[in-house]
């Protein structure tokens, strides 16, 4: 039935514009972009008792690539990190915008920007590309994590909606990962335990395809408010 509806919508042209609603109230280009996000490599974010952490699957194993050129965790500001799932070139545009407004805030107010202000700027930009003709939606979901007076974790979807989370996953197998997080995440979890939990879930989801060298992790503590990265061999001690 869903396939028949999709075919009908294509015949009627409702999927030719991001600004054209179908008769049943859908923006089909936006929904197609959401499917693109689920094809992207997965990331897990956790708000921990002593900071925030993001663990990402780079999913790239080509021996011709220089491994440290593959980076899925971006530094937005000293106290904010970000990752994305979907079309990463789309994400780069949004994250560079976030970096710009973060630096402008520091220059103007001589203080670090609030994490939610960065998320709101990204979400507003994403929403605008679902509203005006001649554009297409960003094919990406963006995760922002950072520390101000407390720790904060946000995710924006393709539509420009965003929510705060204790723990969340985006990208491939996101529903399986979120279900595992619902079962295993506990309030008061520390950063080290958060990294162990994230890698454990990835190991369960990926099975025989799991390889710790595929993963990057980054965290910011409430105490230091600075980015620390872990990758490759540095993550092996977190695997049980």
For residue 67, what pLDDT is reported?
A: 73
As a whole number, the mean pLDDT across the chain is 89
**Banded model confidence at residue 12, pLDDT cuts 50, 70, 90:** low
Topology adopted by domain 26-62+72-235 = 3.60.20
| 3-class DSSP assignment, residue 64 | coil
**Banded model confidence at residue 140, pLDDT cuts 50, 70, 90:** very high
3-state secondary structure 17-44: CCCCECCCCCEHHHHHHHHHHCCCCCEE
**Banded model confidence at residue 35, pLDDT cuts 50, 70, 90:** very high
User: Residue 80's beta-bridge partner residues?
Assistant: 77, 146
**Banded model confidence at residue 175, pLDDT cuts 50, 70, 90:** very high
Number of residues assigned to the chain: 240
* pTM of this structure: 0.90
């Amino acid at each position: 039935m869903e396939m028949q509806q999709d075919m009908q919508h294509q015949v009627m042209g409702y999927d030719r514009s991001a600004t054209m609603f179908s008769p049943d109230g859908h923006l089909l280009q936006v929904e197609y972009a959401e499917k693109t996000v689920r094809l992207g490599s997965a990331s897990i974010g956790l708000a921990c008792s002593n900071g925030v952490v993001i663990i990402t699957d780079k999913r790239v194993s080509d021996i011709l690539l220089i491994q440290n050129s593959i980076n899925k965790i971006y530094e937005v500001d000293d106290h904010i990190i970000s990752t994305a799932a979907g079309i990463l070139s789309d994400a780069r545009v949004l994250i560079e915008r976030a970096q710009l407004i973060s630096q402008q805030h520091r220059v103007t107010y001589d203080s670090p920007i609030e994490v939610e202000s960065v998320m709101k700027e990204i979400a507003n930009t994403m929403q605008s590309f679902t509203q005006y003709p001649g554009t297409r939606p960003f094919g990406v979901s963006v995760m922002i994590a950072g520390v101000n007076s407390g720790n904060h974790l946000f995710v924006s979807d393709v539509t420009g909606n965003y929510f705060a989370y204790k723990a969340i996953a985006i990208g491939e197998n996101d529903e399986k990962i979120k279900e595992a997080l619902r079962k295993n995440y506990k309030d008061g979890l520390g950063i080290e335990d958060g990294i162990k939990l994230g890698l454990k879930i990835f190991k369960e989801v990926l099975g025989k395809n799991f390889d710790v060298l595929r993963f990057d992790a980054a965290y910011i503590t409430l105490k230091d408010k600075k980015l620390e990265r872990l990758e490759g061999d540095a993550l092996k001690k977190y695997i049980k």
